[in-house]
Chains A and B, each alone.
Chain A
């Protein structure tokens, strides 16, 4: 198993139902700055035509996660399926993982005095056999699709096989597992809405990168 998520960000309507569902499902601390997932609005223009991109994001559950490497107590670790987790009981609040995360996906949970982040609902859903996350389940426009990228028959892999995508901050070398699907039907808009230096991938092109990183890190994956 290797859990990942695809995001059809063009379908996002910024209703923030995912943010609310995440807080409800996982008991995340209340507060605007205490988000496991978020939607960013980016206003841009292409040749004078303004547009707004809504950009849902969260922890990228990197296969080669730097936050796991820097943690001095093992509070940041890989769970089965390559999900990056935090153990609040062993976190000493050194905040090294917050510094190391290129996606700014971590924050301090003041109720536990420890670092918190997205878990792909591992402890609340996945270990119970469910195969959806709260954010995916609640999204009215089905932006997110969570699944197992080791399973070629999974909906996620089928989707990735049918759409081009990119990942965030690829040059950090962390092999992130949030796949942003390039907008459909309008190649001109699609290519202009991302940076010219963003690499666009097909699944067949990206799969070897995933497999290589998985071989490197899989021995660190552990069950809860």
Chain B
């Protein structure tokens, strides 16, 4: 392919038609269209769904609109955000994409420093995938927030808030990873390693701060007692994310490079993290309140929990422990980890809705009305718009990756 050089980087001379009209991009367009429909639905539900206050009812008692709003208040589904589950699928997807994406970046930076040659050769592709996932995570969270007020993150910064802190961190992190990709593509090998150290440190900061912020928030919520009594919550985030990061890297290698040796390296690393995840889960429930352990192991929660364990730990462990030569078994193991850890993140979040919150007087808000059937887990089905945004976030990953690959051929193995 004809190329021209810009700032030391070889750029493919591709036509606009070749970039935007190909099978990969068609998949991306379909997913982005789904996301677009989801965004429209979310905007409608958030900003245009009819609602009324007591003032409205007093000022315009004969208004048809107010009557409709009052009807919605009584018979409607209670608005976009459920009080019992303020965080839902958006946050699951955000956590997954950010953790797994930054996990890939971290592992690649580590491999650069450790001089693992095969990873170094494929680093630009892995980093692009990792970065695309981080951006897809941010896309998801942006849809969850009230974007009309988002500028207050800049105009009214709260430096002590962990959530605010994530903004400047990403503002440094994302350009730095982009710079690393640039250095790889421009063959500035000595700088690649130096920046890799920086990225490694920044990845650790991002991961620790992100994990700490999330863990602290979950810890504050006594309803999430289920997951917080165990003292190493950030450790859980890290182990499960690295397992998923490596699984994504296996799938990427399978789709792009088909390198047996690279698959082997990734497979061994994945196995260690799968074992660590299994060890964590095998001991974690011993340290939590027995009521909550009962919910996890024997209550309404058990099916979700066992499904997570089977898919994220048992299946990959059995497929990866013995070194089979069959590549498709590794791919199955990787898919199983990706799905399993996603279920893990989902139940982690919805675990906050696990009960009993309280069975005694004098401790706080009780969830159930007198005639409601007491359930151990409250699960709110996400809205269609929310599901569409989450599905569409895959389109963001594919779109970004494909555009970058079209220009810079990041999927190629390159010599340093």
Query: 1/0 per position for B66-89, CB-CB distance to A under 8 A?
Result: 000110011010111111101100
Contact A99 B221, beta carbon cutoff 8 Å: yes
Nearest A residue to B150 via CB reads A92
A89 at the interface (CB under 8 A from B): yes
Contact of B361 among A27, A38, A194 (CB under 8 A): A194
CB distance from A16 to the nearest CB of B (A): 13
B346-401 CB contacts (< 8 Å) to partner A:
352, 360-366, 369-370
CB distance from B81 to the nearest CB of A (A): 4
**A-side interface mostly:** loop
B49 at the interface (CB under 8 A from A): yes
Contact A23 B83, beta carbon cutoff 8 Å: no
Contact A30 B163, beta carbon cutoff 8 Å: no
Contact B156 A73, beta carbon cutoff 8 Å: yes
Residues of B within 8 A of A113 (CB): 46-47, 146, 148
Expressed in whole angstroms, the Cα–Cα distance for A94 and B162 within the complex equals 12
Contact A92 B158, beta carbon cutoff 8 Å: no
Contact B370 A41, beta carbon cutoff 8 Å: yes
Q: Which of B53-61, B231-239, B244-252, B302-310 contacts A (4 or more CB under 8 A)?
A: B53-61
In the complex with contacts A30-B53, A30-B69, A195-B361, A69-B79 CB distance below 8 A: no
Contact A91 B146, beta carbon cutoff 8 Å: yes
B265 at the interface (CB under 8 A from A): no
Contact A168 B363, beta carbon cutoff 8 Å: yes
In the complex with contacts A31-B79, A71-B161, A100-B364 CB distance below 8 A: no
CB distance from A50 to the nearest CB of B (A): 13
A98 at the interface (CB under 8 A from B): yes
B217 at the interface (CB under 8 A from A): yes
Contact B86 A168, beta carbon cutoff 8 Å: no
Residues of B within 8 A of A75 (CB): 152, 156
Expressed in whole angstroms, the Cα–Cα distance for A132 and B266 within the complex equals 66
Nearest A residue to B52 via CB reads A30
For chain B, the bracket of interface size reads 35 or more
Expressed in whole angstroms, the Cα–Cα distance for A73 and B154 within the complex equals 8
Residues of B within 8 A of A114 (CB): 146, 149
Contact A92 B146, beta carbon cutoff 8 Å: yes
Residues of A within 8 A of B160 (CB): 69
Query: 1/0 per position for A88-132, CB-CB distance to B under 8 A?
Result: 011111111011111111111011011000000000000000000
Contact A43 B370, beta carbon cutoff 8 Å: yes
A55 at the interface (CB under 8 A from B): yes
Expressed in whole angstroms, the Cα–Cα distance for A95 and B79 within the complex equals 14
Residues of A within 8 A of B52 (CB): 29-30, 111
Contact A98 B83, beta carbon cutoff 8 Å: yes
B145 at the interface (CB under 8 A from A): yes
CB distance from B113 to the nearest CB of A (A): 33
Residues of B within 8 A of A99 (CB): 86-87, 217-218, 220-221, 224, 352
Contact A29 B51, beta carbon cutoff 8 Å: yes
Nearest B residue to A193 via CB reads B361
Contact A40 B366, beta carbon cutoff 8 Å: yes
CB distance from B214 to the nearest CB of A (A): 10
Query: 1/0 per position for B295-307, CB-CB distance to A under 8 A?
Result: 0000000000000
Contact A89 B221, beta carbon cutoff 8 Å: no
For chain A, the bracket of interface size reads 35 or more
Contact B53 A70, beta carbon cutoff 8 Å: no
In the complex with contacts A29-B73, A40-B365, A100-B221, A73-B53 CB distance below 8 A: no
Nearest B residue to A98 via CB reads B86
Expressed in whole angstroms, the Cα–Cα distance for A72 and B79 within the complex equals 23
A42 at the interface (CB under 8 A from B): yes
B27-61 CB contacts (< 8 Å) to partner A:
46-47, 49, 51-55, 57-58
Residues of B within 8 A of A91 (CB): 146, 149
CB distance from A224 to the nearest CB of B (A): 15
Expressed in whole angstroms, the Cα–Cα distance for A114 and B55 within the complex equals 18
Query: 1/0 per position for A33-46, CB-CB distance to B under 8 A?
Result: 11000101111100
B114 at the interface (CB under 8 A from A): no
Residues of A within 8 A of B84 (CB): 104
A155 at the interface (CB under 8 A from B): no
In the complex with contacts A70-B163, A168-B362, A93-B370 CB distance below 8 A: no
A140 at the interface (CB under 8 A from B): no
Residues of A within 8 A of B152 (CB): 73-75, 90, 92
Contact A30 B57, beta carbon cutoff 8 Å: yes
Contact B83 A33, beta carbon cutoff 8 Å: yes
Residues of B within 8 A of A33 (CB): 78-79, 82-83
Residues of B within 8 A of A41 (CB): 369-370
In the complex with contacts A31-B73, A70-B163, A89-B149, A195-B362 CB distance below 8 A: yes
Nearest A residue to B352 via CB reads A99
Expressed in whole angstroms, the Cα–Cα distance for A198 and B364 within the complex equals 11
Contact of B79 among A26, A89, A110, A169 (CB under 8 A): A110
B63 at the interface (CB under 8 A from A): no
Contact of B158 among A74, A107, A108, A169 (CB under 8 A): A74
Contact of A53 among B47, B361, B370 (CB under 8 A): B361
B153 at the interface (CB under 8 A from A): yes
Contact A30 B73, beta carbon cutoff 8 Å: yes
Query: 1/0 per position for B329-347, CB-CB distance to A under 8 A?
Result: 0000000000000000000
Question: Which 9 A/B pairs are nearest by Cβ-Cβ distance?
Answer: A72-B164, A93-B146, A95-B86, A31-B73, A98-B86, A194-B362, A30-B73, A27-B55, A73-B152
B→A interface (CB under 8 Å): 46-47, 49, 51-55, 57-58, 69-70, 73-74, 76, 78-84, 86-87, 144-146, 148-150, 152-153, 156-158, 160-164, 167, 217-218, 220-224, 352, 360-366, 369-370
A→B interface (CB under 8 Å): 23-24, 26-34, 38, 40-44, 53, 55, 57, 66, 69-75, 89-96, 98-108, 110-111, 113-114, 166, 168-169, 172, 180, 193-195, 198
